[in-house]
Amino acid sequence: MTPLTVGIIGICILLVLLFSRMPIGFVMALVGFAGFAYLSGFDGGLGVLRTVVYSTFADYNLSVIPLFILMGSFCFFAGLSKDLYDTVHSWLGQLRGGLAMATVGACAGFAAISGSSLATAATMGTVALPEMKRYKYDDRLSTGAVAAGGTIGILIPPSIILILYGIITEQSIGKLFLAGFIPGMLEAVFYMVTIYLLCKSNPLMGPPGPRTSFLGKITSLKTTWVVFALFILVIGGIYLGVFSPTEAAGVGAFGAFIFGLARRQLGWQAFKNSLVDTGKTTAMVFIIILGAMVLGYFLAVSRIPFVLADIVGALVVNRYVILVLILLVYLFLGCVMDSMAIMLLITPIFFPLAISLGFNPIWFGILITRVTEIGLITPPVGLNVYIIRGVARDVPVQTIFRGIIPFLIADVCHVALLIALPQLSLFLPSFMK
Amino acid sequence: MWLSRAADSLNKFVHPAVGVLHSAGVGVLAVLMLLTAGDVTLRYVFNRPIIGSYDLTEYMMAIVVSFGLAYCAFLKGHVRVDFVVSHLPRRVQATIDSITGLLGVILFSVVTWQAFIYMQLLFDSGLESTVLHIPRFPFAGLVCLGSAFLTIVLLANFLEYLSQVVRK
């Protein structure tokens, strides 16, 4: 058998195991090990396992991951997401659909200090859904806004998915962070416009909430300024080259910790919970990274990525057609798989192809990240939807999925805009020192 | 049922150990945060970075990650694709879980074995960190320990699934 045949068989086995509920990282490591051992000898396979495990875990650059997760976790346990919602609520609440817009705004704010989308959806769900129910918002609008808003977290830095992309493709994490900022903010704007249009065509969907006095608006900032402070400290520090992403993560986590202490919201128990939770998530992420590393050896010897790049490169079609096809693969997988796993699983296959077609690696990263996150709110798996279902027990899943449709349309427009105007992603990184 | 009893007793033995391991790991994570923040502050404010923070970070990461693996598996927290299998009859689900569970046990037995060999190789070669000259082999040993506990947890999970398959 040629290495290519082995590679294709390996990928088929990988897919079968993936859908058999075996942990994704285990599947990737197992298939990677078995395939590499088949092609390069059993001792070679053992050799990969021997060195890769230690070198993946004990990696200085990867320490950015637990530290950023910890920063988000401290903010989460210090109750910052509720404060954020209250602030944006007091600024936008009096508008038609204002509470739903506040949800999206607060999601974007929380995204700026946390790299995880699910935590955002879960907290915003508990905080915002009862409030919208009180003002008789349509269930479709309220749950749709929380589910869609939750996905913003992946694009606005710090983002774990962008870090993983940076690691697997050897791109600058700092540049990726800056590149994600404008698209992430635009995404929030797109969602707010969607809410505005929905409420304009049907005012009963989101009746206006109470008006807050100007003084009330200002005082609502007294707890949430820290979000801006942390964001500017972390991302500004990276932008100006004051510190590396790893150092920024450490400083950010420490800042969030001090903030939680100062607010007396982060007691011993919450501190412990933040750490325990972060430890668990870290292990979860690293098992997938380990799997991706081992699988990477197999893919390289099977030559699949290079052959694919050659075949597609020889096609006489516009390169943007190929780009859209690649994005559709990410979108399709995003519907059935975890976004982190997709990023690590298929990026090594498609990245060389994208580069050979002459696409900018940073821009490509932003695009696939953006498309993958749509999968969080599409059937059948849409993790955010199930998390919201857990919070809003009286709303059927079908209602939530129906509520998401307008936001999906906004998503498609947003992706099209990002493709049409690469400068939206590449403008900020071009200034990085 | 001797299978579920075996799974239970294995869990009873492994649960406290996994908890202790995880607590130690996240304790190191807290120190890692202080180290990184301290290093940056000292460098910019006092122009005195913590010497060897790079070495220390690498060693600490080895502990943070490998000590959390078993805990995450214990909570069945590793990411997986659930939506196909969850629609099947219970016994079929348990059968599939046992097969993939066994594959997991085999995989991490090999990983643990190789991690042990790696530790021996490092011990023999006397490899040290570049700045502080701390030997590397103890940390490779801790990775091996974390991997061993993960394997035991996976074994307990496997026995649990298997007991569901043969249950009348």
Q: What confidence tens digit (pLDDT) does each residue in B45-95 have?
A: 888 888 889 999 999 999 999 999 999 999 888 878 777 888 899 999 999
**pLDDT range class, residue B124, cuts 50, 70, 90:** very high
Q: What is the pLDDT of residues B12-37, one digit of tens each?
A: 888 899 999 999 999 999 999 999 99
Question: Is the CB of residue B95 less than 8 Å away from at least one CB of chain A?
Answer: no
- pLDDT score, position A122: 73
pLDDT above 80 (res B142)? yes
- pLDDT score, position A367: 95
Contact (Cβ atoms closer than 8 angstroms) between residue A401 and residue A385: yes
Contact (Cβ atoms closer than 8 angstroms) between residue A426 and residue A183: no
- pLDDT score, position B168: 61
- pLDDT score, position B156: 93
Q: Which residues contact A140 (CB under 8 A, 6 or more apart)?
A: A205, A399, A400, A402, A403
Q: Which residues contact A14 (CB under 8 A, 6 or more apart)?
A: A27, A28, A31, A295
- pLDDT score, position A117: 66
Chain A residues within an 8 Å CB radius of B72: 280, 283-284, 287
Contact B72 A284 (CB under 8 A): yes
B135 pairs with which residues across the strands?
A: B128
The pTM of this model reads: 0.88
What are the 10-residue block averages of pLDDT along chain A, 433 residues in total?
A: 90 90 92 95 94 93 89 84 83 87 88 71 79 87 88 84 91 92 93 93 85 83 81 85 87 90 84 90 90 90 84 83 91 78 86 91 95 82 74 80 91 95 91 72
Contact B33 A284 (CB under 8 A): no
- pLDDT score, position A365: 95
Chain A residues within an 8 Å CB radius of B83: 336, 380-381
Helix (H, G, I), strand (E, B) or coil at A392: coil
Chain A residues within an 8 Å CB radius of B117: 50
**pLDDT range class, residue B140, cuts 50, 70, 90:** very high
- pLDDT score, position A116: 66
- pLDDT score, position A101: 92
Q: Which amino acid, one-letter code, is at A15?
A: L
Q: Which residues contact A47 (CB under 8 A, 6 or more apart)?
A: none
**Averaged pLDDT of chain B:** 91
Interface of B with A in 28-67 (CB under 8 A): 29-30, 32-37, 39-41, 44, 54, 57-62, 64-67
- pLDDT score, position A370: 92
- pLDDT score, position A118: 66
Whole-complex ipTM: 0.94
* DSSP H helix total and E strand total for chain A: 22, 0
The burial class, CB within 10 Å (0-12 / 13-18 / 19+), for A7 is buried
Q: Is the omega angle on the peptide bond into residue A380 within 30 degrees of 0, that is, cis?
A: yes
Question: Is the CB of residue B116 less than 8 Å away from at least one CB of chain A?
Answer: no
Cα–Cα distances in Å, from B136 out to A224, A342, B141?
44, 33, 9
